[in-house]
Structure 1
């Protein structure tokens, strides 16, 4: 066999992801707020780029006019209405102030810093006592003695190591920690299983006395630290707004938060000189500014097209609510507006749309089709509509006789014509964070007390 080398020439096509293409892809995934921050960062580096107050609205085949109350800022997204009230001191600041009021020695005050650092948002200690003692180079007995002092701060229950200890501290603070009450706190797993008769034997009390203690437990706060830092975060304004007019549904970009790119052409002409180096810099920066302006305009057009197509397909949802959500996949929307499926996926990842039914991310409108009893996929509705149906059925059930997953599947199959398995109902119920029928029955027994 003879070996030799040779050269050949051929042609092939490949996609090269340039830096500008990567930026264009990132722009599709940005909401209005992120887009504004991105343009501001680019304007800091480019003297011929500026951030305008409002963007010109791209037109589509739809009427994109907004009601006067939204244009004037009197609607749901009034910026003054989004200002949060003063949240007050944080959990750490409150606990540190309470610890400072205790009569601690200088060494104990230094050790208390480790306990403050271990506090979780719930108000419990997030580290084992042995780990804190090892960090402080002290024995566990010394750490335990300091912990007892720290657990005397307000509100009662701070610095607890578990639920039982948290409730025990609150019971002691209110003078309720009798031997029977202590036995009840030692047997909380039996309470979770709604074993009331077993609790009566463990606490050596009658049923009426047990019910009285359970009512007292329900008045306690299992997470005393949650009352701090609990102010809700301001909701991000939507990127698309859907309204209904005389001629149908209308979609518009949210003008109050939509930024625009201003290219300073006059400044570029003024700085043009005869020096080749200066002209090259001006030309390169001006080209980048022009490209960014076109990319943002393309992003706005694509976002509006995707939103308009989603609204066209989900008209029944807009009119009647989540029970009428239609099955829809990314491929269908991509084919309808003439873009790639990945483009629709990127747009839906960061865009919020305000509708009469509430504000939702665009990806929430995409749901798989379920097969009907006749075998036709999608004829009976989408997975989102079925989840909404399950949620309504459980909300309306008799707490003493909760509906099983198998029963829910049979009812939806008989009434709505959807072919459902019991495990499918269980999966949707878990997604909705709804406990099983057994757990719901136990909670109903305890809540009756």
Structure 2
């Protein structure tokens, strides 16, 4: 066997994902508020980076007259505003303070309170609470009965039937017929009124009176309480109508910018021992400023191209949204599809039709009898309209919906209608008919 060692030289090209390139890609998919948080974290580590702009909506100048010292003046509106309603937790906790004077019982009641769901139901098995409180099953059942005495009636129920039963007992509605109805809620959900009459041993008129009382109860007694404000962040892009058509702008009220403190860098550079550190940090600061400017320019380009293609939507609403793909926008502005995908992830745009995610505008095309193509979004909107305007007693089936839309010029299969209906969370025609029957009973 002949063994020998040799060396070979070769050249090849490859792309290396540098740290700066990874940061630049990360910046593309940040919203204005996320971008500000990222820049502020960078400014904490880099003494030459200053973050400017990006005030929140509360500090935006709305053009309203304000006198000197207005910040310290008496705020009549704020003074007149009602105090926020107590949360479900605060409401129940206040009742527990009065109900349970024994520290041990109050501690156990607190465990039940922690398991209370926002809708008012008990969100944890009773056995788990008993184990955590070192209680027997009988003691846990007794404590559950006590905490279920709080107002409003129905809190701490473990099921729909129990929730309704607690309220019925509280209102004096519990009769043998009502109890039998609660035991057969699945038949009620199936709108089997004739079957309910048989198992409850009552007439249809008696059943309808009982159903009227049942509808007066609240299946989610905790939902009426304040669970905190649902805040929606400011949009990243704003669409307005100009003299020459639609225009899109960056939301400057939330858009931060990077400023490089060159003066501070010059002062620190006088210390020769800090020269290398200053050069490296100053280079990072300048790169970060360029990266943010590039991110803003690319975001504006993507937004402008989307607005240009969706002019009909801006004029007439969701029924006129045009089919559009990531590739269409990428080719139009000269970037890669992945760049468009990253920018449109999480970005919000405010239009005359409302505030939308940029992702909502990318829909597939469906073939039509005409020269153009219909977008899947416009077809889904049309399905919503047809279902909203249908006769509740004779709801449109998926076949009927497909036939109507196909007659209007857009070729649509029944299975496509079913898929879109599921996306819109619209029940089937059978379920809609059953719901209408229950509502009219």
Matches within 5 A, 1:19-38: 19-38=19-38
Distance in 2 between residues matched to 1:274 and 1:330, nearest whole Å: 51
What is the CA deviation profile of residues 29-62 of structure 1, one whole-angstrom value per residue up to 9, with x for unaligned ones?
Answer: 111111111111111111111111269xxxxxxx
- Structure 1 CA distance for aligned equivalents of residues 202 and 98 of structure 2: 40
Q: Deviations over 1:376-432 (max 9, x none)?
A: 8xx3301101100101100000000000011101111111x2222211111111111
Contact 2:36 2:54 in 1 (8 A): no
1:402 aligns with 2:395: yes
Match of 2:417 among 395, 415, 425: 425
What is the aligned partner in structure 1 of residue 8 from structure 2? 8
Q: How does 1:47-66 map to 2 (within 5 A)?
A: 47-53=47-53
Matching of residues 183-222 of structure 1 within 5 Å: 183-222=180-219
Change (3 A) 1:5 1:308: same
> Which residue of the partner structure matches residue 87 of structure 2?
90
8 Å Cα contact 1:238/1:254 also seen in 2:
yes
Distance 1:403 1:5 in 2: 80
Give SS of 1:166's match: helix
How far apart are residue 88 of structure 1 and its match? 3.3
Distance 2:13 2:163 in 1: 67
Partner Cα distance (2:44, 2:329) in 1: 37
Counterpart residue number, 2:69 = none
Q: Which residue of 1 aligns with 2:374?
A: 381
- Distance 1:74-1:173 versus aligned 2 partners, 3 A rule: farther
Q: Secondary structure at the match of 2:366?
A: strand
Q: Please tell me whether residue 247 in structure 1 is matched to residue 236 in structure 2.
A: no
Larger CA deviation: 45-54 vs 28-37:
45-54
CA contact (8 A) 1:43 1:49 kept: yes
Q: What secondary structure is seen at the aligned counterpart in 1 of 2:345?
A: helix
How far apart are the structure 2 equivalents of 1:315 and 1:436? Answer: 34
Contact 1:240 1:252 in 2 (8 A): yes
Q: Does 1:129 align with 2:126?
A: yes
The answer to whether the 8 Å contact 2:250/2:300 transfers is yes
* 1:58 counterpart residue number: none
**Which of 359, 383, 389 pairs up with 1:390?**
383
Q: Which runs of 5+ in 1 are unaligned?
A: 56-70
Q: Is the 8 A contact 1:87 1:231 kept in 2?
A: no
Q: Does 1:261 align with 2:258?
A: yes
Q: Is the contact made by 2:312 and 2:321 (CA closer than 8 Å) also made in structure 1?
A: yes
Deviation at 1:4, TM superposition (A): 4.0
1:72 positional shift: 5.2
2:426 maps to 1:434: yes
- Could you tell me whether the CA contact under 8 Å between 1:373 and 1:413 is conserved in 2? no
- Structure 2 CA distance for aligned equivalents of residues 110 and 333 of structure 1: 60
Over 3 Å counting, the alpha-carbon distance change for 1:40 and 1:12 in structure 2 is same
Q: In structure 2, how many angstroms separate the alpha carbons of the residues matched to 1:229 and 1:26?
A: 37
TM-fit CA distance, 1:438: 0.7
Q: Does 1:446 align with 2:438?
A: yes
TM-score between the two structures when normalised by the length of structure 2: 0.91
- The residue aligned with 1:68 is none
- Mapped pair 1:284 → 2:276: no
Match of 2:110 among 97, 110, 113: 113
- Counterparts of 1:138-157 in structure 2 under 5 Å? 138-157=135-154
Distance 1:204 1:286 in 2: 85
Residue 274 and residue 128 in structure 1: after superposition, are their counterparts in 2 closer, same or farther (change >3 A)?
A: closer
CA RMSD of aligned residues (A): 2.2
Stretch moving more, 340-349 or 242-251: 242-251
User: Offset at 1:151?
Assistant: 0.3
Name 1:238's counterpart in structure 2: 235
Post-superposition CA distance 1:122-156 (Å, at most 9, x none): 11111222222222222211110110011000111
Distance in 1 (alpha carbons) for counterparts of 2:238 and 2:390: 36
Residue 370, structure 1, aligned to residue 366, structure 2:
yes
Measure, in 2, the Cα distance between the counterparts of 1:38 and 1:16.
24
The alpha-carbon distance between structure 1 residues 104 and 180, as it changes in their structure 2 partners (threshold 3 A), is farther
TM-score (norm. length: structure 1): 0.89
CA deviation string 1:302-327 (max 9, x = no partner): 00000000011111111111111111
Q: SS of the residue aligned with 1:226?
A: coil
Contact 2:88–2:226 under 8 Å retained in 1: yes
Are 1:296 and 2:285 an aligned pair?
A: no
Do structure 1's residue 45 and structure 2's residue 37 form an aligned pair?
no
Aligned counterparts of 1:412 and 1:139: Cα–Cα separation in 2: 62
User: Which blocks of at least 5 consecutive residues in structure 2 are unaligned?
Assistant: 65-74
Contact kept in structure 1, 2:347 and 2:357, CA below 8 Å: yes
